[in-house]
Amino acid sequence: MPRQVLVIGAGVTGLSCAIRLQEAGCIVTILAKDFPAPFPTIDPLAQINYTSPWGGAHNRWVVPSPSGENAREHAFALATFSRMRALAESEPSVGITFMKGIEYLEAPPAEYTSLTPHRAAELQLPGFRLLGKEEFPDDKITWGCEYDTWSLNPMVYCSFLLGRFTFRGGQIRKRELKDIKEVFALPLGELGFEAGRIDAVVNASGYGFGGDPNMFITKGQTCLVANECDVTVTRQNADGSWNFSVPRGFNGGTIIGGTKDVDDWNTKPSIEIREKLLAGFRATYPKILGEAGEYRVLADIVGRRPTRKGGPRIEGEVVSGGGFVMHAYGLGGRGYELSWGVAEEVVKGVDGHLKGHPKGRVASETVAKCHL
Ligand SMILES: Cc1cc2nc3c(=O)[nH]c(=O)nc-3n(C[C@H](O)[C@H](O)[C@H](O)COP(=O)(O)OP(=O)(O)OC[C@H]3O[C@@H](n4cnc5c(N)ncnc54)[C@H](O)[C@@H]3O)c2cc1C
Ligand SMILES: *[C@@H]1O[C@H](CO)[C@@H](O)[C@H](O)[C@H]1NC(C)=O
Ligand SMILES: *[C@@H]1O[C@H](CO)[C@@H](O)[C@H](O)[C@H]1NC(C)=O
Ligand SMILES: *[C@@H]1O[C@H](CO)[C@@H](O)[C@H](O)[C@H]1NC(C)=O
């Protein structure tokens, strides 16, 4: 009998895991409080904890340090990149656009200054090129590069994933839980399963449940403008602040960002910050204004990145009562760019657990190959 897996969460993490589990032959139901919907219908206050609509979302290659920090995440980003490429090529309306990414740094740390074309090739960074001084926007920038990357329209993309999931027979339940363990007590029929038992629960709840003391939020304020942008630009300033653009495509405009405020639960966007972001980005990339010569502001955005000290938690746990929970949360500011790598790890974890490996962490050679 096929395995029955319940995924909690319908952000980019839960949706990607659910599709990947279906591909591995599981019967999957997604239970969540929030589901993807057209972006203008998402409520900025009532749904502020649902991070996926508020994200950029682009892929910015984060260079692993020589000591191996970020190496696991880099492997996830590479896996995600190839699947995004295949999706963009086969599904024109998926919401993904491939483009150049540009990085400008005022005070580059060692992993950037040692990023030669040779090192970039080792890291499999596609289309990598170091920029010359004459290509920098001003003389505060001391290092720059460009590469091939993707950017997407979050609610177009997540709605596509949800559509694919249900088209393949996946069931959804729109519910709010107080505690994950509740699901083991629910009647199976209510969750869309036949008989038997729930073989695994995937915890892709973002910042939905308390319990993990390592979780915190990183507030981000960005501004959505109607101006189109042909590249995704990231500037890292010496004072630790950032200026970036994330084109959404598909009539989604462009995100101009952005702040990273740890433990800041304020829900209200600041007009002063908006003006700084817009001015800061215009100075870095004047082409953003286009023929109109000015910004057309659509909305101020506040989102909460579900961040975790020690990095994302992607591991299995047998909870009290005996149920198996495969965790997939704490993706911080990288949920989209790591999504398919995380989903692959979740399939391996579930498969490993059901084959009797402790904590479900052992990879299995029998995990079904990924089909698009
Ligand atoms: C300003 C900003 C810019 C960003 N830019 C980028 C970017 O460029 N690239 C990138 O990769 N990432 C970016 N991110 C990060 C990215 O948006 C997140 O990492 C990602 O959306 C997290 O997805 P998730 O599925 O893990 O969580 P969420 O999207 O928060 O989903 C959680 C799910 O769990 C459900 N849930 C939670 N609690 C309960 C409960 N009690 N009962 C039932 N259901 C529950 C929710 O309803 C929801 O369906 C950005 C984030 C912000 C805020
Ligand atoms: C968001 O999450 C926090 C922390 O769990 C909670 O206090 C708050 O009520 C939530 N907000 C909404 C609108 O659900
Ligand atoms: C599930 O995820 C949340 C983060 O949303 C975490 O705090 C919690 O410890 C996880 N596990 C359980 C069993 O709830
Ligand atoms: C970048 O944005 C910050 C706000 O986060 C702003 O204070 C600063 O002026 C901007 N700087 C540049 C040069 O882009």
What pLDDT, on a 0 to 100 scale, did the predictor assign at position 181? 86
**Which ligand 2 atom lies nearest to the CA of residue 45?**
13
- For ligand 1, whether the C-beta of 199 sits within 6 Å is no
Tens digit of each residue's pLDDT (9 = 90 or more) over 314-324: 999 999 888 99
Tens digit of each residue's pLDDT (9 = 90 or more) over 184-235: 889 999 999 988 889 999 999 999 999 999 999 999 999 999 999 999 999 9
- The reply to whether 313 sits in an annotated binding site is no
Q: Which residue's CA is minimally distant from atom 41 of ligand 1? A: 177
pTM of the model: 0.96
**Ligand approaching nearest to the C-alpha of 285:** 4
Whether the pLDDT of residue 366 is over 80: the answer is no
Tens digit of each residue's pLDDT (9 = 90 or more) over 18-30: 999 999 999 999 9
Tens digit of each residue's pLDDT (9 = 90 or more) over 70-100: 999 999 999 999 999 999 999 999 999 999 9
- The reply to whether 52 sits in an annotated binding site is yes
Whether the pLDDT of residue 362 is over 70: the answer is no
Q: For the chain, what is the HEC assignment?
A: CCCEEEEECCCHHHHHHHHHHHHCCCEEEEEECCCCCCHHHCCCCCCCCCCCCCCCCECCCCCCCCCCCCHHHHHHHHHHHHHHHHHHHHCCCCCEEEEEEEEEECCCCHHHHCCCHHHHHHCCCCCCEECCHHHCCCCCCCEEEEEEEEEECHHHHHHHHHHHHHHCCCEEEECCCCCHHHHHHCCHHHHCCCCCCCCEEEECCCCCCCCCCCEEEEEEEEEEECCCCCEEEEEECCCCCEEEEEECCCCCCEEEECCCEECCCCCCCCHHHHHHHHHHHHHHCHHHHCCCCCCCEEEEEEEEEEEECCCCECCEEECCCCCEEEECECCHHHCCCCHHHHHHHHHHHHHHHHCCCHHHCCCCCCCCCCCC
Tens digit of each residue's pLDDT (9 = 90 or more) over 41-58: 999 999 999 999 999 999
What pLDDT, on a 0 to 100 scale, did the predictor assign at position 9? 98
Whether the pLDDT of residue 365 is over 50: the answer is no
Mean pLDDT value of segment 362-370: 35
Residue to mutate, 138, 237, 281, ligand 4, most ligand atoms under 8 Å from C-beta: 237
- The reply to whether 356 sits in an annotated binding site is no
CATH 3.40.50.720 domain locations along the chain: 4-54+155-214+309-368
Q: For the chain, give the percent of residues with pLDDT over 90.
A: 89
Q: Which residue's CA is minimally distant from atom 11 of ligand 4? A: 280
**Fold classified for 98-149+216-306:** D-Amino Acid Oxidase; Chain A, domain 2 (3.30.9)
CATH 3.30.9.10 domain locations along the chain: 98-149+216-306
Q: Which residue's CA is minimally distant from atom 2 of ligand 2? A: 49
Q: 335 CA distance to ligand 3 centroid (A)?
A: 16
Lowest mean pLDDT of 41-55, 135-149, 350-364, name the range: 350-364
Name the pLDDT band for 370 (thresholds 50, 70, 90): very low
What pLDDT, on a 0 to 100 scale, did the predictor assign at position 166? 98
What pLDDT, on a 0 to 100 scale, did the predictor assign at position 356? 81
CATH number among 3.40.50.720, 3.60.60.10, 3.40.640.10, 3.20.20.70, domain 4-54+155-214+309-368: 3.40.50.720
What pLDDT, on a 0 to 100 scale, did the predictor assign at position 359? 52
- Residue 353 and residue 334 in contact, taking contact as beta carbons nearer than 8 Å: no
